[in-house]
Chain A
Amino acid sequence: MCTTFHRTGQALPALRDVSFSVSQGEVLGLVGESGSGKSVTLRSIIGLARRYGNVTGQVRWQGRDLVGMPDRALRQIQGREIAMIFQEPMTSLNPLLTVGLQLEETLHAHTDLSKVARRDRAIEMLNLVGIPSAKQRLKDYPHQFSGGMRQRVMIAIALAATPKLLLADEPTTALDVTIQAQILDLILQLAQDMDMGVVLVTHDLGVVAQTCDNVAVMYAGRIVEQGPVRGVLKHPRHPYTVGLMRSVPENLPPRTSLYSVPGVPPSLDALPRGCAFAPRCAACVASCEQDRPPLSLITEGRQVACFNPVTNEQGNAA
């Protein structure tokens, strides 16, 4: 899948050759710096990106290709089979409608339930996501909820039509730490109960370690490494993954300066010819600046795009 945005005649390749798969009940983590293309990936999958940009390639969903699908057909899948939740619970709900009406909106679009049945289902969903006195709260407006509660409402809306895949765009970033864990647990619990696949976008490797089955690391619009969480986090092979891991403060004595990957990601309109990470990479070899390393299978289930991958020993050291 590739997504290109155009700005004043200039093509900005936001995503290039991104490819991954999620199966039922699987939780895939998508990590990377800001601007690495995580959110655009989700928006390309669900058909939001094509409103603003050019999405090419394929998004296979149960044997059908979503990229070329007409809007009308896509709408039958959006919300019903694939749902999405957003980062910012403050703006992802319509401020002028009660949460009850917004919940019913999903049911109205995707089910034949009667008005009464829709209301019952809305109450059921609010109970499911752990909102107390659900029946009374249906009549409340979004501003009467706290951030965490609002995100729960958002989850209830997204899951009301029992989708098979949930795209979660940094669902906990805007929440405070204690609430984050609750919301993640809720998502995972519901995913398990409903046998639903989840693509979880985050820049928090701690979250990935706790929640995901597989992880894909993105850099400058490409996947640079992917594989099972345990393997990738324990033995990162791509120098960028190693850098990301090192930037997570962990068991550091007080007053140690924090590690950060040196340099900044390249701008999308000036991507280097070779590996996009080469200018920031300590393990850069001559060929890195000439050619782009393809994403290749190195061991079972592990793919890395690097000419000079980190060996296990080095990975452990980092």
Chain B
Amino acid sequence: MSDAIFTPTQPTFMQRALRKPGFVAGLLIIGFSIMLAVFPGVFAPYDPNAIDYLALRQPPSWAHPFGTDLLGRDSLSRVIWAYQVNMQMAVFGTVFALVTGVIIGALVGYYRGIADLIFGRIVDAVITFPFLVLVIAVVAVLGPGLVNMYIAISVVYWVYYARLMRGEVIAQMGNDYAAAGIVMGYSDRRIIFRHLLPNAITPVIVYWMTDMALVILLGSSLGYLGLGAQPPQSEWGVLIAEGRNFISTAWWLSLMPGIAIVVTGLGFSLLGDGLADLLRPRG
């Protein structure tokens, strides 16, 4: 038999990705956001904390594209430095919830039984509670600050990931390959982590992208309320709060960080949408 086997050539993942303008736009926004977060000093024209009493509350100009604040600090530089905090939020605010949620969801979905019943009650308890109130309550107990905020978010948020993962694992269990793994005597650990988890994780990854946008929004809200990042740290919520009293006279103080939130959120959403398309199983 010759080796002439017909294997249809399919476009690679990258080729398909580049054909989706939304995904590409999301990728560019988030890529640039990461650059800003990692190297804020390179992009920021001024020291974000340099006070200039000769340029208080200047409207946007060529010298200060985003204007200056009450102490004459450059708003653009402060918004750029805030990327460091807000992108960090997107990661640390979600990653612990993601990992624990995926593991617990996979285990509960695989074993079901009593653990699943308990899990169901936890889900009920968490989703019936307004999320923001719950997080504020946890932060209030632990005290304000970024680390406590991450703890507060993770404590609540793993439930959402776990719920999604559990459902997917149960759906995958309906496929014969899961049953085949069991009857071939593979260990539970191998079935769960090598066979079920990779097949079940796609919606979770997509959800994760959207979730990062939500966490940035939540983190900014907490910052705005004084429960998240603390001044003088640059953080979008904190910056918006600083401009709050001057919204009619110095509108740029609150608007510019607001735009940063919107653009970053949009980036994550586009990325998530694009991934959902790209990762969807085909024929």
Contacts and interface: CB of A to CB of B under 8 A. Distances in A.
Interface of A: 43, 46-48, 51, 74-80, 82-84, 86-88, 91-97, 105-106, 108-110, 132-133, 136-137, 140, 143-144, 154, 157-158, 167
Contacts of B283: 143
Contacts of B20: none
B199 A95 contact: yes
28 contacts: A46-B183, A47-B182, A48-B183, A75-B186, A78-B182, A79-B183, A79-B184, A80-B185, A83-B183, A84-B183, A84-B184, A86-B180, A91-B176, A92-B175, A92-B179, A93-B177, A93-B180, A94-B181, A94-B195, A94-B199, A105-B181, A106-B184, A133-B1, A133-B5, A136-B5, A140-B7, A154-B180, A157-B184
B223 to A, nearest CB: 40
Interface string B203-233: 0000000000000000000000000000000
Given A95-B281, A140-B7, A143-B283, A78 B183 contact: yes
Contacts of A78: 182-185
A143 B283 CA distance: 8
A109 B187 contact: yes
Q: Which of A96, A158, A167 has the most CB of B within 10 A?
A: A96
Interface of B: 1, 3, 5, 7-8, 175-177, 179-187, 190, 194-195, 198-199, 281, 283
Nearest to A84: B183
A83 B180 CA distance: 9
B203 to A, nearest CB: 15
Given A94-B177, A96-B199, A143-B283, A48 B182 contact: yes
A86 B175 CA distance: 11
B213 to A, nearest CB: 28
A144 B177 contact: no
B186 A105 contact: yes
B184 A132 contact: no
A136 B184 CA distance: 25
Nearest to B180: A92
Q: Which of A84, A94, A97 has the most CB of B within 10 A?
A: A94
A77 B185 contact: yes
Nearest to B178: A94
A97 B183 contact: no
Contacts of B183: 46-48, 78-79, 82-84, 167
A77 B185 CA distance: 7
A84 B199 contact: no
B104 to A, nearest CB: 20
A12 B181 CA distance: 26
A144 to B, nearest CB: 6
A88 B174 CA distance: 12
A105 B187 CA distance: 10
A79 B177 CA distance: 14
A51 B103 CA distance: 21
B184 A91 contact: no
A91 B182 contact: no
A97 B195 contact: yes
Contacts of A47: 182-183
Given A92-B177, A95-B281, A83 B195 contact: no
Contact of B175 (A80, A91, A105): A91
A83 B179 CA distance: 12
B184 A83 contact: yes
B192 to A, nearest CB: 13
Given A48-B179, A86-B179, A109 B3 contact: no
Q: Which of B176, B181, B187, B194 has the most CB of A within 10 A?
A: B176
B169 to A, nearest CB: 14
Given A48-B179, A92-B176, A93-B177, A109 B186 contact: yes
B182 A109 contact: no
A158 B184 contact: yes
Q: Which of B3, B5, B180, B181 has the most CB of A within 10 A?
A: B180
Closest 6 CB pairs of A and B: A79-B185, A78-B185, A79-B184, A92-B176, A132-B1, A86-B176
A109 B180 contact: no
